[in-house]
Amino acid sequence: MAVRTAAVALALALSPPAAAAVSGSVIRVPRDASTVQEAIAAAGAGDTILLDAGTYRGGYVVPRGKRGVTIRGVDRNRVVLDGGGKRKHGFVVHADGVAILNMSAHDFRGNAFYWDGGDRFRASYLTVWNVRGYGIYVEDGESGVVDHDYVSGAADAAYYVGECRPCRATIAHVVARLSAVGYSGTNATGVTIRDSLWDRNGTAVLPNSFANEALPPQARTTIVRNRIVASGRARVPIATPLAGLVGIGIAIAGGNENRVTGNLVTGSERYGIAVFPTARYVTFEPSLRRDPGPPWRPRANRIFGNTVTGSGSADLALARGSGVGNCFVGNHVRTAQPDRLQSASCPRPTPAGDARVALALTRRLRTMADAVLRRRRPPFYRTMPEPPPQPSMPTR
């Protein structure tokens, strides 16, 4: 993982300007390179690109050959990528070992920070608001860290780590606020999501299985010690096929062997924690409409030691048609569907699941999404509030 120790972070902050040809050098923008893309072209493995305070256009690409590069802002709140509602992405990373640190981005039509096939990623101390796609999006990257980030007003998902097996990725100490989905992880096996705040998103945490993406099904995600507040209770921008699942705190959609423990889930519009098969997937893009076949049926998921209160339909829910071995034990709740969902210990014979939950959550995604969009009339993503200033990354 690029730049993880305090010693390296201090060296980056204090190093004088150096020539790009020296391994481990610091390339300052605009002092040493006039643009970010020029700095990327000049950088070698181990180099750091340091962005001075200012507003940047985005649209930067880190090609596959630029392994091991760190891109860091001097101040999280004063280094800002502004897409202007016109440009698609802030950064697109194809290389392994790339870290993007300590900056902000807003108003992109796609994603703010996007790793596409880049392994050993790091996304730390980033602030994102008002993007039509994802705040921080990692696709086909097996190992990495997403930490101390803040994403608000994402019309798809604030955070995504997906299409990887194994995923050896951790999302920790982040905030997702007022986004359609807080975390979406399609076909991600092995992600840890911990110690984070998920506030007034459509759906907060949503690991999911769909055969139209690589490496299904999703499995073995750990969701621990998160605080999840008022899912589905606020107006949020929505531009995702998963719109029909709005109103759930933690949703295990067709995944297997996931572990959900020690979370506090309050005030979800529909379900606090729900486990259900995934519906047949049809995308919104006409050129990509594909039918992947029968649903993925969740099995062997363990939901234990959570506190769930104030859910509109049920604090805990298991849909009829789910697979075997799903276990709910030791959760502090008032309502469940089916009523006798919790057991004294795991494992035990799997309950049949509830037909009401299946009816609500396992219809065709497009049908459910259309109904939600008609009912909620979501706001335009660029109209969401700008977040307050966030702490910069420590230099020591």
Kindly tell me if the per-residue pLDDT of 3 is higher than 60.
Answer: no
In this structure, is residue 363 part of a structural domain? yes
Report yes or no on 153 lying in a domain. Answer: no
Residue 314 has pLDDT above 90, yes or no: yes
What is the token pair recorded at 109?
A: 């039509």
Same domain, 127 and 218: no
* 187 and 329 in a common domain: yes
**Region of 395 on the Ramachandran plot (φ > 0 left; ψ -120 to 50 alpha; else beta):** alpha
Across 41-50, 265-274, 355-364, least confident range = 355-364
Whether 238 and 306 map to the same domain: the answer is yes
Would you say residue 159 lies in a domain?
A: no
Question: Which residue, among 263, 338, 257, has the nearest Cα to 298 in the 3D structure?
Answer: 257
**What value does the mean pLDDT take over residues 283-295?**
46
Over the range 89-101, which residues count as b (16 or more CB within 10 Å of their CB) and which as e? bbbbbbbbbbbbb
Flag whether pLDDT at 289 surpasses 50: no
In this prediction, residue 125 carries a pLDDT of 98
Inside any domain, residue 77 = yes
Nearest of 124, 125, 181, 123 to residue 152 by alpha carbon = 181
Q: Examine the domain organization and report whether 104 and 230 are in the same domain.
A: no
CA 356 vs CA 200, 209, 299, 318, 328: distances in Å: 24, 21, 19, 10, 18
pLDDT band at 184 (very low <50, low <70, confident <90, very high): very high
What are the structure tokens assigned to 21, written together?
């040809």
pLDDT tier at 366, thresholds 50, 70, 90: confident
pLDDT at 2: 35
Question: Within this chain, do residues 346 and 205 fall inside the same structural domain, yes or no?
Answer: yes
Mean residue pLDDT of the chain comes to 90
pLDDT at 48: 98
169 domain-assigned: no
**Confidence band for 348, pLDDT divided at 50, 70 and 90:** confident
What is the domain range of residue 33?
24-131
Single pTM value for the model: 0.91
Q: What's the domain count of the chain? A: 2
Q: Let me know whether 260 and 364 are in one domain.
A: yes
pLDDT at 189: 95
Buried/exposed code over 113-142 (b: 16+ C-beta within 10 A; e: otherwise): bbbbebbbbbbbbbbbbbbbbbbbbbbebb
Mean pLDDT of 274-286: 67
In a domain, 208, yes or no: yes
Could you say which of 98, 131, 164 is where a domain stops?
Answer: 131
- The pLDDT value recorded for residue 20 is 35
Position 147 pLDDT exceeds 70: yes
Range in 24-28, 107-111, 290-294, 332-336 with the lowest mean pLDDT? 290-294
- Where residue 363 falls among pLDDT bands split at 50, 70, 90? confident
Nearest residue to 257 (alpha-carbon basis) of 299, 297, 216: 299
Residue whose tokens read 């009816």: 359
% of the chain beyond a pLDDT of 70: 90
Domain boundary, last residue among 131, 163, 192: 131
Residue range 76-133, pLDDT digits in tens: 999 999 999 999 999 999 999 999 999 999 999 999 999 999 999 999 999 999 999 9
State whether 103 and 190 are in the same domain.
no
Helices (H), the chain: 6-14, 36-42, 355-361, 365-376
What pLDDT score does 18 carry? 33
* For range 254-260, the mean pLDDT: 97
**pLDDT confidence of residue 22:** 38
Tell me the average pLDDT across 53-74.
Answer: 98
Angle at 359 between CA 358 and CA 362, to 5 degrees: 60
Q: Residue 285 above 70 pLDDT?
A: no
Task: Note whether 261 and 337 are same-domain residues.
Answer: yes
Q: What is the pLDDT of residue 291?
A: 39
Model pLDDT for residues 204-230, shown as the tens digit of each residue: 999 999 887 888 899 999 999 999 999
Does 147 map to a domain?
Answer: no
CB neighbourhood size of 178 (10 A): 24
Do 370 and 317 share a structural domain? Answer: yes
Do 209 and 123 share a structural domain? no
Give pLDDT, residue 171. 98
